[in-house]
Amino acid sequence: MGNTRAKKYAPILWFLLGLFCLQVLGQLLVAIFEVSLLPPMEQWYDAVMPYPVLVALQAVIIVIFVRICTTFAKGRVIPRRTLGLRLLGYGSLYFTAMVIRYAIRMSLYPNERWFGGSIPIFFHWVLAAFLLVVGYYHWRNSEQQITKTSQLSSVQVWKKRIIKGTIYLAMLVVLLAWITYQLFPSVLAYHLRMRPAQYAVRYDKSVAFTAPDGIKLVSDIYRPQRIQKTPTILIRIPYNKNMQARLFSNMIGRLWAERGYTVVIQGTRGRYESEGRHVPFQKEREDGIATLHWIANQAWYDGKIGMWGGSYFGYTQWVIADQVNPGLSALFIQVASTNFYEMFYPGGAFSFESALFWAARSYSDKDTPPALEELKRAYKELPLIEADDRIVGDVDFYNSWVTHNQKDEFWKNVDGENRTSTLKAPVLLLAGWFDPFLPTQLNDYQTIKSDASSEIAAGTKLIVGPWAHAKTVTLPEGFESRNYRFESLAPSLDWFDTHLKNRPIKKGMAPVRIFVMGRNEWRNEMEWPLARTIYTPFYLKSHGQANTRTGNGLLTLDSSTHSANTDTFMYDPQNPVPSLGGTMLGPRAGTVTQNTVEDRADVLVYTSPILKEDVEATGDIRLILYVSTTAPNTDFTAKLVDVHPNGDAYNVSEGILRQGYQASDWPVKIEVNLWPTSIVFLKGHRIRLEVSSSNYPRFDRNPNTGGIIFRETKTVKTIQTVHHGPESPSALILPIIPK
């Protein structure tokens, strides 16, 4: 009886197998023989795996299904209820997933309705139906399999239930994760207020071309379907192709491709899947130019290329920003600048924590951020040149950064010359108040406005937010703005639509958009620096005891009561003032309380009276000091601090100056440039200035010997004196914005 029933199912199974074979045949005819009467390849093939692998898998499926159909036709199938239940479960889940996939595709992509690009989905339905038919036969035609309770212990019964439940739960979780994966770009676009998706996306994985020196550069390409030529968005990514990087590239690749862009995400040399060895700044210009020419030869290239990315991604943009035919039509550069030298050597001191974090992360092919405890081991000892050896081994590019402490040929090769004036496309600059690139990035904006062509200068925009280096910062009292990753994507589509698609935008972007801390609100401006700025001196004053926050150091607007005096402290390089927050690369960047630092005797603290009204400071900050020292070469550091009514003091801005000094009885006038900022010191708060000679490891420590700092193993204590009064008018110059 069972044999007869099995034979009745055979025609249905042969029919389903025939449909599947027709699909495979049609795919082969298009892929190999380029038959034009059939739909194009992108409608037969969804690029989940390389096509040769897919063909091999399809052949295996056909062989298995032929054997199953033959067995049914001969009536040699013994029905098994358990097998039937499993096949029905798996087949139902498979069929449901494909129905959901079809519904998502039809709802998201108007150009695909109602059958566009759905051939693979239809034949997944065929495969699912095959499983369901086989499963139904086994379930319907087998006798009820009853296991006597007495034959199984309660533990065994529960064990079977738990296993089954776990399997079904895992299947449900996988299905939900897959649905989330499919919908995430659209959900993200909705959250970022981008226009809806238009196109289904084809994903071409690991597409390579050979650079002029023989190295293969590998890209993942996301292309909108049903459109022949599109603008291109290029990202040259310096990360490993790990799960996090793959998810990142997949999400943003689909995000832009669904809206009409071809997205090329390429590994820089030695990264992602590209060949070669990763050495920061080397070969990026040559590889970038070669990539532009490769893109220009692709069938989908429409003549326009934009680039996106921050930090090292930003550097890969700047090095080819002068190119034409092919060149760039728009850049979106975040937390990076044309001047890496001044990021590494602000005020002449070395950005030690940033450099070591970068070197420890990028020295190998793993690109793994170092743990904070690892970094701390390197901070404890001298010399500076061997800091990398203490945690990861000798890193040649770290050695180069340390030893080239002047703007020599090494840095000229890194930074190029006048990249802002040779810029050939408008750029959107995204900066952060707690980012180490901030001063140089703001200078880029100013020089573009003054030196670039009028069209490019007019099109260039600036956004400055409450971020560290590609990191969201928690501001005082727990305030946290929208995640930095979202903010770096939010303006991108409008920006590229404007410059790559010439699409009119409903609401234009302001020339400058800044986040004003204190009030914690965004504000549009017409220029940077703000034209209405009043640079206001806050004079230093004390009775000679400004050491620690409990001393008598004052910041005052009144120069008439500015009596002559000095404040003195001893700077010991073996016991430097620790960095708490600040503008460095790595996890410690941002704003945190400075109270413990201000309790040190080697920190001079000058504090304003309690503010009777809000005071806004937006722009560049300078500190003019009259100093004397017993060292032939030493540092003076400055930190602007916002003191809350409860006494908590939060860092706002910082700076340093390193230089040599001649022995003299007269004080020397110096100027320390602090990080630009935008903050409202609220009514009831106080403005505070910290002065010292170290901020470590944000900056390397000066050993005070006058020798070669990066090789020095010995240190000397020195007496530092800050003078203030009518003859030595030390003052903090704040960019006050009138109401």
CA distance 670 to 627: 7
Alpha helices in 192-330 (DSSP H): 243-257, 284-296, 312-318
57 closest CA partner among 124, 156, 114, 3: 124
CA distance 723 to 205: 64
CA distance 201 to 222: 6
CA distance 65 to 639: 74
Specify which residues 688 forms β-bridges with: 607, 641
**Cis peptide leading into residue 697 (ω within 30°):** yes
Cβ–Cβ < 8 Å for 215, 276:
yes
Residues 6+ away with beta carbon under 8 Å from 89: 135, 168, 171
Q: Using alpha carbons only, give the angle 418, 620, 702 rounded to the nearest 5 degrees.
A: 85
Our measurement of the distance from residue 601's CA atom to the centroid of its chain's CA atoms, rounded to an integer in Å, reads 39
CA distance 601 to 360: 33
CA distance 694 to 654: 11
In angstroms, what is the C-alpha Rg of the chain? Answer: 33
CA distance 647 to 486: 34
CA distance 85 to 440: 66
Three-state DSSP string of 393-416: CCCHHHHHHHHCCCCCHHHHHHHC
692 is catalytic: no
653 is catalytic: no
The most distant pair of C-alpha atoms in the chain lies apart, rounded to whole Å, by: 115
Count of alpha carbons within 13 Å of 302, Cβ hemisphere only?
Answer: 18
CA distance 465 to 454: 26
Catalytic residue among 311, 354, 492, 694: 311
435 is catalytic: yes
Catalytic residue among 469, 562, 685, 723: 469
Residues marked as catalytic: 311, 435, 469
